[in-house]
Amino acid sequence: MKLIYKPFAVVLGLLAGFLGRKLFDRLWGLVDDQEPPKPNTQRATWPKVLGAAALEGLTFRLTRAAVERAGASGFHSLTGTWPGEREPEPE
């Protein structure tokens, strides 16, 4: 049953990337009215470059986790099988 979940996971990953990009663009718009700087932009300051990278990483990981969790919950509701681990692995 978990093998059936794989195609859904791929689609959910694409959806998460799309939503993450939209969320990042909206949040960056609250920070600055210019495009977020790339790391190799010469005239961008260190705080601005690192802030943009941190915000982008946060929004992408947060969006991915939310979409993946919602997909797993939906799959569980439909099939009765959880597509991932039941418990975290012990350290």
pLDDT one-digit tens code per residue, 57-73? 999 999 999 999 999 99
- State the pLDDT at residue 43: 94
pLDDT of residue 76: 95
Give the chain's end-to-end CA distance (angstroms, integer): 28
Residue 17 has pLDDT above 90, yes or no: yes
Q: CB-based burial of residue 58 (10 Å sphere; 0-12 exposed, 13-18 middle, 19+ buried)?
A: middle
Mean pLDDT of 16-21: 96
Residue 89 lies in a domain: no
Instruction: Tally the domains of the chain.
Output: 1
Is 1's pLDDT higher than 80? no
Phi/psi of residue 37, nearest 5 degrees: -75, 145
Residue 89: CB partners within 8 Å, gap ≥ 6?
A: none
pLDDT at 28: 96
Alpha helices in 1-91 (DSSP H): 2-31, 46-79
Domain containing residue 71: 43-80
In a domain, 72, yes or no: yes
| Rounded alpha-carbon distances, angstroms, from residue 47 to 21, 52, 71 | 21, 8, 36
Is 87 contained in some domain?
no
- The rounded mean pLDDT for the chain is 94
